Amino acid sequence: MDNIYAIIPVTTFKNAKTRLSPFLTEDEREKLLKVMLKDVTDALRKHVDKIFIISRDEEVLSYAESLNVNTILENDNSNLNKALTQAMKLCKGKTRKVVIVPSDIPLIGKTNVAMLIDASKSLDFIIVPSKGGGTNMIIMKPMAIHTHYEGFSYKEHLKAAERKKLNPQVHDSFFMALDVNTTEDLGEIMIHGEKTHTRKFLKELKVQFESSRGSERIRVTRDD
């Protein structure tokens, strides 16, 4: 039995990250999703036995295959939580733990992933919150809890783990908490994302940033 598998759910590349429109075109947003997913898989590849990407989108699955990771075709009439249940059932009995992460946290490689995975050998449940009350990583036995990735999922996952007496351990990470949804998030990638595929792509798009005293701390622009 392998020690740990990674599960990354991906819905679609097209018409995604609409909050970044019109700063990025639809084609640019699609490419952004791809380079972020590459950063995530590159960071995990060094520390897990297998990576699974689950999606119902054939383009996503085809791209996942180009990254040399395993793919799962998501069932019809599914949603994010059902997709994760499907993936965990496939992993159950084959691995001791699964690490569940989204595809849009390109700074994951800046965190000490090895430390978290090593800690999971003796801990039942590790969770990393995201900005805004979400969840950007769970490490647990497959099907230890049913996931609740809607709304303020972090607290829901903590409650579910506590009900199962899993003694959840919280790891607070700025880098892993940063899922990319806004132009300010792109600025954070430009500041902190050295050597990531995502920052390289944003530089190709001539994304610029500067400190701001307005409603956002970082002003993000593009050179014409």
Query: Which of 1-5, 129-133, 190-194 is least confident?
Result: 1-5
Structure-derived torsion over alpha carbons of residues 212, 213, 216, 220, reported in degrees to the nearest 10: -20
Average pLDDT over residues 185-211: 96
Encode pLDDT of 45-78 as tens digits: 999 999 999 999 999 999 999 999 999 999 998 9
Per-residue pLDDT band at 159 (split at 50, 70, 90): very high
14 Cβ contact partners less than 8 Å away, ≥ 6 residues apart: 26, 30, 57, 59
Per-residue pLDDT band at 215 (split at 50, 70, 90): confident
pLDDT at 17: 94
Average pLDDT value for the chain: 95
Average pLDDT over residues 186-192: 96
pLDDT at 1: 59
HSE on the CB side for 49, CA within 13 Å? 11
Cβ(49)–Cβ(211) under 8 Å? no
pLDDT at 214: 72
Encode pLDDT of 170-183 as tens digits: 999 999 999 999 99
Which helix (H) or strand (E) is 158 found in, with range? Answer: helix 153-163
Domain segments of the chain: what residues? Answer: 2-177, 183-222
Q: Could you tell me which of 165, 186, 30, 203 has the C-alpha nearest to residue 107? A: 186
Encode pLDDT of 71-114 as tens digits: 999 999 899 999 999 999 999 999 999 999 999 999 999 999 99
Encode pLDDT of 18-42 as tens digits: 999 989 999 999 999 999 999 999 9
**Architecture label for domain 2-177:** Alpha-Beta Complex (3.90)
pLDDT at 198: 98
Cα diameter, the chain: 55
The conformation of residue 110, written as its DSSP 8-state character, comes to G
pLDDT at 15: 86
Per-residue pLDDT band at 223 (split at 50, 70, 90): confident
